[in-house]
């Protein structure tokens, strides 16, 4: 097989990955845990072709620049080296991220690319090994290989820093995504992490507490204890942002509307609706909730946000080959 198309869904971390101990191999300082999401995904087609003289990368129908294509080339080289393939490749990707979501995701992008390159190159490694390849495109892509709740074990080397599926999340779990701002973020995750690791006096506390946080959330998932899981997820997100705020110069992803969203969620909790916030390297707020209550939460959030800023999603599945 010299070509394949694969779908991968994005994921949102409940225990965040923040900071690398090895920038070349994308080895994280701490293990993390995420929920894969149904509504946000990437479809990617890869074809190795002896006729091509260079890699070609088309995203959403548009040929990409040399710089963007260069990232794909470096990533495909991992597969070419292992599979003994020297051909260049044609890569066509479509991001199925509703524009309102404002979430461009490298997680689904590199997981889909890894999945398609794995088949098209004939390498055919198992999913666990494939997650170590996806990781070298973007850290969060490690977790998008699998569906439901997924742990990324920080490991001791490139070989054992892989993803592990924890639970299919088939128990009334969902998210309401609040798109606060759709513009490009000012500080990339990559730079933000580096700056935090190097300059934040709170960063050692982040690392010191991350493993305990992970074990609490894994227990909560095992017990199907939604409140315990949500409280831990919210705490992990706020603690990550606190460590960034203490960096020099500070890294501030919050916007006024992010605070509005957080306070709206606190108010919903006071009204007895169980829901919790999480935020990543940007101003958008994701509300972890019972999928059965997501519609009600969305209605309440309409007091503050427009309909097109709000997206409900359930848990998504792991990567799969598209046959049509």
Residues that bind ligand 2P0 in the complex, under the rule CB under 6 A: 13, 16-18, 26, 32, 106, 138-140, 189-190, 280-281
Q: Output 107 or 176, the one with its CB closest to ligand 2P0.
A: 107
The minimum distance between CB 197 and ligand 2P0, in angstroms, equals 12
The minimum distance between CB 54 and ligand 2P0, in angstroms, equals 24
Q: Find out whether 36 and 150 touch, Cβ atoms under 8 Å.
A: yes
Q: Output 32 or 69, the one with its CB closest to ligand 2P0.
A: 32
Q: Output 7 or 16, the one with its CB closest to ligand 2P0.
A: 16
Query: CB burial class (10 A; 0-12, 13-18, 19+) of residue 296?
Result: middle
CA distance 242 to 229: 20
The minimum distance between CB 190 and ligand 2P0, in angstroms, equals 4
Q: Output 96 or 190, the one with its CB closest to ligand 2P0.
A: 190
Closest residue to ligand 2P0 using C-beta atoms: 139
The minimum distance between CB 154 and ligand 2P0, in angstroms, equals 12
The minimum distance between CB 135 and ligand 2P0, in angstroms, equals 8
Q: Report how far apart the first and last C-alpha atoms of the chain are (Å, whole number).
A: 15
Q: Output 163 or 265, the one with its CB closest to ligand 2P0.
A: 163
The number of beta carbons lying within 10 Å of the beta carbon of residue 52 is: 13
The helix or strand, by DSSP H or E, that contains position 120, with its residue range, turns out to be helix 106-120
Torsion, Cα of 263, 197, 70, 93 (10° steps) = -30
Query: CB burial class (10 A; 0-12, 13-18, 19+) of residue 73?
Result: middle
The minimum distance between CB 267 and ligand 2P0, in angstroms, equals 25
Query: Residue 99: CB partners within 8 Å, gap ≥ 6?
Result: 182
Q: Output 47 or 189, the one with its CB closest to ligand 2P0.
A: 189
The minimum distance between CB 107 and ligand 2P0, in angstroms, equals 6
CA distance 58 to 94: 9
Q: Find out whether 241 and 254 touch, Cβ atoms under 8 Å.
A: yes
CA distance 3 to 15: 35
Q: Output 44 or 189, the one with its CB closest to ligand 2P0.
A: 189
């Amino acid at each position: 097989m010299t070509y394949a198309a694969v779908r991968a869904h994005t994921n949102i971390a409940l225990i965040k990955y923040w900071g690398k101990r090895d920038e070349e191999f994308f080895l994280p300082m701490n293990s993390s845990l995420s929920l894969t999401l149904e509504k946000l995904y990437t479809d990617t087609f890869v074809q190795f072709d002896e006729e091509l003289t260079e890699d070609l990368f088309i995203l959403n129908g548009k040929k990409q620049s040399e710089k963007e294509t260069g990232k794909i080339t470096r990533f495909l080289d991992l597969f070419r080296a292992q599979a003994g393939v020297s051909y260049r490749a044609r890569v066509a990707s479509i991001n199925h991220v509703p524009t309102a979501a404002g979430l461009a995701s490298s997680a689904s992008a590199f997981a889909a690319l890894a999945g398609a390159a794995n088949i098209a190159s004939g390498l055919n490694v198992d999913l666990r090994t494939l997650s170590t390849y996806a990781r070298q495109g973007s850290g969060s892509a490690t977790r998008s290989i699998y569906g439901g709740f997924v742990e990324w074990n920080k490991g001791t080397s490139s070989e054992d820093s892989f993803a592990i599926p924890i639970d299919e999340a088939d128990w009334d779990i969902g998210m309401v995504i609040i798109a606060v701002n759709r513009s490009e973020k000012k500080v990339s995750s990559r730079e933000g992490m580096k700056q935090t690791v190097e300059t934040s006096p709170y960063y050692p506390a982040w690392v010191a507490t991350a493993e305990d946080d992970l074990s609490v959330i894994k227990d909560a998932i095992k017990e199907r204890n939604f409140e315990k899981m949500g409280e831990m997820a919210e705490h992990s997100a706020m603690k990550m942002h606190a460590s960034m705020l203490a960096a020099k110069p500070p890294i501030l992803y919050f916007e006024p509307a992010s605070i509005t969203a957080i306070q709206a969620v606190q108010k919903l909790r006071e009204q007895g609706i169980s829901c919790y916030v999480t935020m990543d390297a940007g101003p958008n707020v994701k509300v972890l909730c019972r999928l059965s209550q997501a519609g009600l939460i969305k209605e309440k959030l309409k007091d503050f946000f427009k309909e097109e800023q709000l997206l409900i999603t359930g848990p998504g599945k792991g990567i799969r080959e598209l046959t049509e």
